[in-house]
Structures are given as structure tokens and as C-alpha cells.
Structure 1
Amino acid sequence: MSKLRMGMIGVGGIAQSRHIPTFIKLSDTVSLEAVSDINASTAETVAKEFDIPRVFSDYRDMFEHVDAVTICTPNKFHSEITIAALQAGVHVFCEKPMAMTPEECQAMIDASKKSGKVLAIAYHYRFMKDSRAAKRFIDANEIGEPIVARARAIRRRKVPGWGVFTNKELQGGGSLIDYGCHFLDLSLWLLGSPKPVEVTGTAYNKLSRIPGEVNQWGDFDRENFEVDDHVTAYIKFDNGASMLFETSWSANVKGDEESLSISGETGGIDLFPLHINQMKHGMLLNSEADWIPGEEDPSLPQAANFINSCLGLEELIVKPEEAMTVSVIVDAIYKSSETRQSITLN
């Protein structure tokens, strides 16, 4: 079987810590052929460290040397680079969120369909062992029709003090578009990808603007902090289901929390960790898994799914249309917060 030739566009922290090491572990099916970064010295250093043969100052110049690219740039450039790659006949694996706006997402999908090339978005929470097990339970009708989801992606004091995470122009937002989007995607997937019809949300950025406050993830410019650090939302879907959602980089809570709970007609399921809650034989039963098979690192099955999809061996698990729905909800939460009104979606 031929290997997929991979190029990396943007080789900052997420590329160096996650994607490049993951592709190296999957070297039987993929080869790293090229890198490009706006910082030429960083690109050269990364290429040397990971033994990647080609370095390009203009990412467009790598397209003739690769079959696929992984995009790890600031959010502002996701759509532009994705479309350019697809038009050049190159598959795309793009970091989350898909893009800055739903309109940009749609343009990416249109380019993918026209080119016939794969477009995948890096929502890796779907590939966690607990998440995949929960999906199997729900698809097997163990909890009946899902009714209510409760998702919390909470960090107590962890504003990223590196990169451009707090730059609204480059990122489009803060805790919601960077972190909470993972739990929106995971929730939608487990709910069966219902269509959102109404969104009410509020975005805050009070705590991160207070001088002298503790932050566990480095220093940042508090005086000019413009993005959200705490967000709440209520989302209604076309099938009658609803979601209570909360995410934060900074919140006065006891500690960090990642949890997702779904109540169905005949049972419920909780993550993380995985618990099944049911009523059977006149009893209330709670079950948990003693062992769940699969990789501990979700980056490996995520990357393998993209590679195999490009090679025509598998179907994408994170479809671009589903990733776009996440961006539609994110956009609606921000608009609802700005207008202080519920947003109805067509």
C-alpha cells in the first residue's frame, strides 16, 4: 500500500506536540514530506528536529509535493488555506474550529465537494475511548431516544498564555471557540447530529481582566483581553432535544471539570468517566466499564481515520458538515450574547 504524503502548514505548539509525533507513529501509512510556517526559523527548526525534507516559505509551493496537508494556523486562516489546498487537489486535515464563520465553513465544504478531496476537522474528543464506547451504547438503543444533554468544559484558571489564543482578530473568540467547541461537537455526535433551531447564550470576560489574578497557564495581556473566558448556553434541536452547555478558561469554581451527561427515554449515560444509568426490572441500575479497548491517545485513531479516508479505506468519522454545525452554534452563542436575545436558526 502506498503512503500518504503529508505536509504541515503552521508548525507551532499543536503541530509539534500532537500532529507531527502522531504521524511519525503511523509511518507505515503516512510520510511527512514538507512544512511551512510564517516564522521561517521555526519551520527550519521543526524540519530539522523531525527530519522532514522540505521547507516552504509559501505553503502553496508544497502542494505539488504532497497528497494531503494538516493545517495548524490561527483560525482566521483555516478557510483560505483549506480552499487553496483543495483546489490544488490536496486532501485537508484542519485543526478545530473549522473556521471563523459558518459562511467560511460552507465555502470549505463546497471546495471539498468540487475537488472530490477529503476534508476533515480535528475534533479529537470523538476518538477518546469513553466517547466511542458511549456512541456504541447509544447506537444500540441502550438509553432510548436522547432528550437532554448537559455539557461542561470548565477550567478554573487556565487562559493559554502562549500563541495567539487571546487575539480576537486571529482566533474569533476565546474559551468557546477554542475549548468548548470540542464538547459541542462531542454532544452533537452522541445525540445523533440533530439540527439546532434556537440558541440562547451569554459570553463573559470579567475574571481575566482583573489585575493580579492567578493564571496557571502563563501570562497574558489582561488590560486588552477581549475574548470570552466563560460562556453559558441553552440549545434547542429540531427533534425536541435540548442542551445545557457551559465552558470556561477562568471561573470561580472548585476545580477543572470535563463532563457530559445525556438523559434518554429509557436510560442515561455520563462521561467522563463512562457510566450507564438505567431503570430495569423495577430497579434503578448504574453501570460502569471495568475496561474499554482502544488507544489511550485519541490523536492516533483520529489521524488513522483521516489517512485511511484519503486512501479510500474508511469513511470519515468527523464529517465537515457536522463540524460546520458546531461553528453555526458557536456563532449563534456569540450573537445571542451581543444582542441579549435568542437566535433562531434556519
Structure 2
Amino acid sequence: MTKLRIGIIGAGGIAQARHIPTLLKNEEVTVEAVYDLNMDAAAAAAGRFNIPKIMNSYQELFGEVEAVVICTPNKYHAEIAIAALHAGVHVLCEKPMALTSMEAESMIEASKVTGKVLSIAFHYRFMKESIAAKKAVDAGDIGNPLVVRVKALRRRKVPGWGVFTNKDLQGGGSLIDYGCHLLDLSLWLIGNPAPTEVTGTSYNALSRVPGQVNQWGAFDHIAFNVDDHVTGYIKFENGTSLLLETSWSNNIKEDVIEEVSISGDKGGLDVFPFSLNYSKHGMLFNSEAAWLPGEDDPSIPQAQNFIDACLGRAEQIVKPEEALQVTQIIEAIYESSDSGKAVAVYTENREGGLLP
């Protein structure tokens, strides 16, 4: 059996904790090469996972593989993805897709021109609960979605490693790093309707206070210049609205809160844990699933879907145009926070910009 040859660009935590181990379990691929700007990190990853080749540049790596997984800081996603696609290489890029919607659009154009697969690693879509919720929504179990409520909250868990608090390299903090996952999931569940207006507020007050407790290591509170808490309100062309709250540092009782709930005109659902909520015979019901099919580790079906798409056997679950929408909304939330005004989101029939 001919195996799909894959390379890793960026040898940090997400590559070594998720992508490389997952790919090594798959009998249809080989991990042929790794590149990192930090050659010591590349060598460490190669040694740990028995990756045959350490490359001197990502351009050099393209000649050794048919597909790549991009695990670099966000700033380099677009540059490397576009170069890979034009080199004839399929791309699975870590989230978020890019720093800006303009960069994301350029990535999509490169994919269309070259005919190569471009997918973004929004792995929450591949969770069992998410797949069950998608089936329920698509089957009409809740009717037309009206209101979506999204919470992605952590209690004092600012990532103290890597470059997560570097705005130049990452583009932001809790929203672009963490909240993007559940934002993407919620948009996918309701069919990615066109957003029309976004209002948002971002904060970084907590993480700038000296001596704050942080469960995920030390960071420089003086240099901290990204968001650690964000709220957003999104309106869509079809009348649906979405309320979003995300945080690395929330003062909540729980360690983590991850919630996506959708209210429709016939019923509602909660994703974590999966539950259908409806009325019948003059009574109210909540139906929580006793068992859900699928993998416990969403990285496994995510990798398989990318492999299948590269081999022409399946459509991508995460389409780049949908990932672009996430970037557009994140961009608009930050813009709204900076301006103090609502932001109109660009569509084919509408010019974007601040609303009066």
C-alpha cells in the first residue's frame, strides 16, 4: 500500500502532543520530515518520534512530502500554507486559519488555483457530542435555530509557555486561541449563516495585575498585551443571533466551562453533554444521550478526514470558507472593541465597516 507522506512544520507543543502521535497511529501515512525555525526543537521532535529527516527550511520540506501539518505561530500560517499549496502540497493548518480575513482569503485562492486540500484544525467539530448535535440540527429536531449561546471559559489558565501572549505572533489571546474553537463549532452546527453585524469587548485587566494566580505557568504581566476575556454578540442574515464569552482567566467557580446551546423554534439542544430539549403532549422533556458513537479522541477522526480528502475519498469536514468566517468574526470583535462601535461584516452583497 502506498502511504501518504506527511511533513510537520513547527515542532512545538501542539505538534508533539496531538498531530505527530495521531498520525503515527494511522497506517495510511508516514511522517517523513520535520522543520522548525528552532533546529534544536526539530531535532528533539525527530528523535522522540523517529522522524527520518530534519529539514533546513519549510521550502526544502515540500520536496519530501505530499502533505504538511502547519503548527507554527499564527503569524506564519498564511505564508507557509500558500507556499505549500503552490508547491503542490496538501495543507492541514492549525487554528486559527490566519491573523486576518485578507490572509485567509489568499489561502483559499491558493487552494482553488492549485486544486490542493486546505483544511483548518478545528478539532471540536470531530467530538462525538458535536457530531450528534450536527445530526440533530440537520434533521430538523430543533427547527430553525434562533439563539446560540457559547461559553469557552477557563479559570486562571493563561498559557505560560510558547508565544501565546505575544500579540505580534498570535494576533490576540483567549478569543483567537481558545474561543475560536467553540465559535467555529457553533457556526458549523447552524449551517454557517452569513454574519451581518458584530459587537464585541475585549479585556486584559486580570492578567496585568501583579501576583495573580495562574495554573498554567508564569508569564510577564507587564508585557501582557493580548485579551484574556472577551464578549461578543453576532447577528446573522437569517435572523439568528449568537452570544459569545471566552476567557483564559475568568473568576468562575468551575475550572473550565465549555458550553454550546442552541434554541430553535421547535426545540433546543446542549452539546456538552449532548441533550435535546423539547416540548410534547403539553410537557417539557430533556433527552440526554445514553451512548454516542465515535472516537473519544477527536484528533483521530480529524486526521482521517484530512487523509481521506487528500486521497480524494471524502469531502473536508472543515471547509476553508467556513474557517474564513471564523476569522472574519474574530477580526470584527477586535475591531468593535477597539472602536466602541458595532461592525458590519463583509459579504458578497455588503460593504464592511463600522456602523454609525
Q: In which range does the TM-score fall when normalised by the shorter chain?
A: over 0.9
- Report the counterpart of residue 227 of structure 1 in structure 2: 226
1:42 Cα deviation (Å)?
Answer: 1.3
1:2 Cα deviation (Å)?
Answer: 2.3
- Report the counterpart of residue 317 of structure 1 in structure 2: 317
Distance of 1:36 and 1:114 partners within structure 2: 26
CA deviations over 1:92-142 (Å, ceiling 9, x no partner): 000000000000000000000000000000000000000000001111111
- Report the counterpart of residue 159 of structure 1 in structure 2: 158
- Report the counterpart of residue 213 of structure 2 in structure 1: 214
Distance of 2:283 and 2:169 partners within structure 1: 53
CA deviations over 1:46-68 (Å, ceiling 9, x no partner): 11211111111211001111000
- Report the counterpart of residue 57 of structure 2 in structure 1: 58
Letter in 1 for 2:280: K
- Report the counterpart of residue 137 of structure 2 in structure 1: 138
- Report the counterpart of residue 337 of structure 2 in structure 1: 337
Query: 2:179 matched to 1:180?
Result: yes
- Report the counterpart of residue 129 of structure 1 in structure 2: 128
SS of the aligned residue for 2:63 comes to helix
- Report the counterpart of residue 290 of structure 1 in structure 2: 290
Distance of 2:215 and 2:63 partners within structure 1: 43
Structure 2 length as normaliser, TM-score? 0.96
- Report the counterpart of residue 4 of structure 1 in structure 2: 4
SS of the aligned residue for 1:341 comes to coil
Question: Could you tell which deviates more after superposition, 175-184 or 46-55?
Answer: 46-55
Distance of 2:28 and 2:193 partners within structure 1: 34
Question: Could you tell which deviates more after superposition, 39-48 or 113-122?
Answer: 39-48
List runs of 5+ in structure 2 lacking aligned partners: 347-356
Distance of 1:163 and 1:150 partners within structure 2: 30
Distance of 1:215 and 1:18 partners within structure 2: 24
Distance of 1:21 and 1:233 partners within structure 2: 35
Letter in 2 for 1:200: T
Letter in 2 for 1:338: D
Distance of 1:328 and 1:301 partners within structure 2: 26
SS of the aligned residue for 1:65 comes to coil
SS of the aligned residue for 2:284 comes to strand
SS of the aligned residue for 1:333 comes to helix
CA deviations over 1:184-204 (Å, ceiling 9, x no partner): 100000011101100000000
Letter in 1 for 2:193: P
- Report the counterpart of residue 101 of structure 1 in structure 2: 100
- Report the counterpart of residue 264 of structure 2 in structure 1: 264
1:37 Cα deviation (Å)?
Answer: 0.3
Q: Aligned residues, how many?
A: 345
Identity %: 63
Distance of 1:48 and 1:160 partners within structure 2: 26
1:271 Cα deviation (Å)?
Answer: 1.8
